[in-house]
Amino acid sequence: MKEKTLIITAIICIIIGLPSLFFASQFVKADDPRILSSLSGKVVKIAEKDKITIIDVEMDNAMPIVSFDKIKIKKGDRVEIKGEIATYKGKLEFVADKVERK
Amino acid sequence: MIEYLLGIVIGILFGIITGLTPGVHINLVSVMLLSISAILLEWTSPLMIAVIIISMGVTHTFLDAIPSVFLGAPDPDTVMAVLPGHKLLFEGKGWDAVRLTVIGSLLCLILAIVLMPLFALIFPIIYSLMKPILGWILILIVFIMIIKDSNKKWAITVFIFSGILGLIVLRSEIRQPLFPLLSGMFGISALLLSLSNSVEVPLQVAEETIDVNAKDFLAIIGGAISGSFVALFPGLGAAQAAALSTIVFKIKEYAYLILVGGINTVNFVIALVSVYTIEKARNGAIAVVMEIISEIDLTRLIFFAAITLIVGGIATILTLKIAKGFAKVIEWIDYKWISLGIIGFITVLSLILSGWVGLIVLVISTAVGVIPQLCGCCRSNAMGCLLLPVIVFYVL
């Protein structure tokens, strides 16, 4: 087998692979529902059970709350938020359905 | 699309480093990427990191033949290539040895991708049928391996010694146990014998055409199939597939190197199909990919198949060029010093990776590894260090 034949075969693989990659990349999910993030904070409560441990952590950094509606609040307000935890670009955020001032 | 091409380039660069450096495995780099993934994900997507790891893995499977052949320093997946590769090196055909593994890697990769839909259909069936009896199949294959050996007494001795060593080492708390175990068994043992025979590396001939016949190409089918099936089962990897294939197919060096090259690449790529069908990651790098992206659906499988095809093509060209450079450099340097350097490097790396216990493993595995070559039995028997633990896992 000539080395030239091997190189030509390799180039053909690249030529076939590139449009296949382009086509597949139009349909593939880049983000992932899996939560992969890191948290830091102060432990305020520890509850040890048989097979699990539950800890309450007062987090160092605030979690971003994303609302798609206009909300009338200002800094310092106490709020109650209803919604769900999600990820965006691998980070945790809370998508709010409803934000109420308490 | 541009992002993914950049991921491919980064992965290939990592793969060149891991492939050419003895002792640095893609699993190590993959785990390092996982540990900093939370930071990386501020700039990129989980899929991009997966692209980097897969590109690195495929590139590694092409390039790791170079240190195996020219330096006698194999990684766990290329151990079975060391002896025939070294034999060709001392015939002045070291570059041919690498080219044969590249032929195997590229052509088996293409065949494996073409057969992916079939594998996706039959893997779940084969897994459920074979899993209960796999241990017994392996026992039968080992029995045939020993019976076929011309020196049965030493074949059994080597298998048992290496098997017991493997059982102890792989069940211990030693960090990175495979490195000293396999480097001693297949790397240092071969280098010590080269040193004792005062061999000199002759001029390396780099001809345009490599002499392969039709029978050698059958090794491509063997490589694609055996590399794919061992991707289904835990404890089995490229090295075991190569050892088992040599028992089933009695083939000469050229076909053997094609087979080993093919198994190495296919085993990595088809692990993606294992995840898609039976949701089991069968190698460390793919396990890390699953930690980052959690699932492989059909679109992602096609996406990754396209990635491996592109990377396989690029890695082919890179390996051929780099191997040519190695072939020229190795003529200038006294092989005695290369061997001593590699032995020293592996020893130091064993100490760093596995501690002083790793050094003890290295010495013992080297002692076991020289026996086949001195006593005239088949070197495959030393794969007992991996086969016996797998047999015990499945049978007991």
Q: Which ipTM score applies to this complex?
A: 0.78
Residue B306 in contact with residue B298, Cβ under 8 Å?
A: no
| Per-residue pLDDT reduced to its tens digit, B8-29 | 999 999 999 888 887 667 777 7
Average pLDDT in the B176-186 region? 83
The burial of A99, by beta-carbon neighbours within 10 Å (0-12 exposed, 13-18 middle, 19 or more buried), is given as middle
Q: Give the pLDDT score at B161.
A: 93
Say yes or no for a CB contact (<8 Å) between A7 and B316.
yes
Instruction: Look at residue B251 in the predicted model and tell me its pLDDT.
Output: 66
CA distances, B313 to each of B66, B262, B391 (Å): 17, 14, 37
Q: How far apart are CA B281 and CA B290, in angstroms?
A: 8
Per-residue pLDDT band at B199 (split at 50, 70, 90): low
More confident residue, B134 or B204: B134
pLDDT tens-place string over residues B251-270: 666 778 888 888 888 888 88
Instruction: Using the predicted structure, report yes or no on whether residue A37 has a pLDDT greater than 60.
Output: no
Q: Are strands A79-88 and A91-101 parallel, antiparallel or unpaired?
A: antiparallel
pLDDT 10s digits, B50-70: 999 999 999 999 998 888 888
**Which of B72-86, B254-268, B283-297 is predicted most confidently?**
B254-268
CB proximity B208 to A under 8 Å: yes
Give the pLDDT mean for A14-18: 94
Tell me the chain A residues in contact with residue B276 when contact means C-beta distances shorter than 8 Å: none
Partner-chain residue, chosen from A12, A28, A32, that has the shortest CB–CB distance to B303: A28
CB B313 within 8 A of CB A17: yes
Q: Which range is most confident: B19-23, B182-186, B331-335? A: B182-186
Q: Where does the pLDDT of residue A91 fall: very low under 50, low under 70, confident under 90, or very high at 90 and above?
A: low
Is B42 an 8 Å CB contact of chain A?
yes
CB-based contact B4:A17 (threshold 8 Å):
no
- Give how far A86 is from chain B: nearest CA, Å: 15
Least confident of B30-34, B74-78, B191-195, B332-336: B74-78
- Contact across the interface for B46 and A30, Cβ inside 8 Å: yes
pLDDT at position A90 is 60
- Domain, as residue range, for B154: 2-395
Number of domains in chain B: 1
Give B310's contacts in chain A (Cβ within 8 Å).
Answer: 13-14, 17-18, 21
Interface check for B1 against chain A (CB to CB < 8 A): the answer is: yes
- Chain A residues close to B306, C-beta within 8 Å: 17-18, 20-21, 23-24
Average pLDDT over residues A51-76: 77
Higher pLDDT, B323 or B204: B323
CA distance B380 to B142: 10
pLDDT at B364: 95
